[in-house]
Amino acid sequence: MVGNSPAAGAVGLHLVGGLPLLRPDEQVFTAMLDGWRNQQLARSLAFSTIEGREKAVRAFARHADAFPWAWSPQMVDEWLGDLRSVRNLRRSTLRNYQGTIRSFCAFVTDPAYGWAEACQERFGTHPVQVIHEWNAAVHVQEAEADPAKRAFTRDELQAFFDHADEQVGRVRG
């Protein structure tokens, strides 16, 4: 917060206090996502990054059939298990999804933005962090690419650059 102005993404910028909502669950969730988008824009993240993250959060919410104030670590475990076993997603993709959910939960639980307090007032509960050290995939290898897509050896790289240099010399010469 700068001076008296609320942080980008704060609840007060997206919901009017005390005003009843027609579909409170959906409207608060949408306002949370709008707030998170604004917070990420304030951090100068790329639009494509922000859109991908929102898509992942919405996909998790659909799978869990719950809004963020009702999410649990077990719901995340089930979702990620399905993504791994049914859709056969790579570990790096799962880690990316975990990072996205962790980031969203960090946003909605941060007191600076007021979402937890707003949820407590409206729904009698509040969002919690659902990605922890004990349920997050770890990065165990430096290179996780498909083994068929191996890195070049030093000799192969040298031959490649030598060839490129020869081509430049031929074109100039």
- Buried b / exposed e over 116-145, threshold 16 CB at 10 Å, is bebbeebeeebbeebbeeeebbeeeeeeee
Digit-coded pLDDT (tens) for 97-126 = 999 999 999 999 999 999 999 999 989 999
What local confidence, expressed as pLDDT, does residue 17 receive? 61
What local confidence, expressed as pLDDT, does residue 159 receive? 94
Q: Are 75 and 66 in contact (CB under 8 A)?
A: yes
**What residue ranges define each of the domains in the chain, with the CATH number in brackets?**
11-141 (1.10.150)
What global pTM score does this model have? 0.75
Judge whether residue 151 has pLDDT over 70: yes
Average pLDDT, the chain: 88
Digit-coded pLDDT (tens) for 43-98 = 999 999 999 999 999 999 999 999 999 999 999 999 999 999 999 999 889 999 99
What local confidence, expressed as pLDDT, does residue 24 receive? 83
Confidence of residue 1 (pLDDT cuts 50, 70, 90): very low
Q: Are 30 and 22 in contact (CB under 8 A)?
A: no
Q: Looking at residues 146-170, what average pLDDT do you find?
A: 88
Tokens of 86: 């049914």
Q: Looking at residues 23-49, what average pLDDT do you find?
A: 94
With the C-alpha atoms ordered 85, 86, 90, 95, is the resulting torsion angle positive or negative? negative
Judge whether residue 148 has pLDDT over 80: no
For 101-160, the three-class secondary structure string (H helix, E strand, C coil) is HHHHHHHHHCCCCCHHHHHHHHHCCCCCCCCCHHHCCCCCCCCCCCCCCCCCCHHHHHHH
Q: Looking at residues 18-35, what average pLDDT do you find?
A: 84
Question: How many angstroms separate the CA atoms of 44 and 90, rounded?
Answer: 28
Confidence of residue 6 (pLDDT cuts 50, 70, 90): low
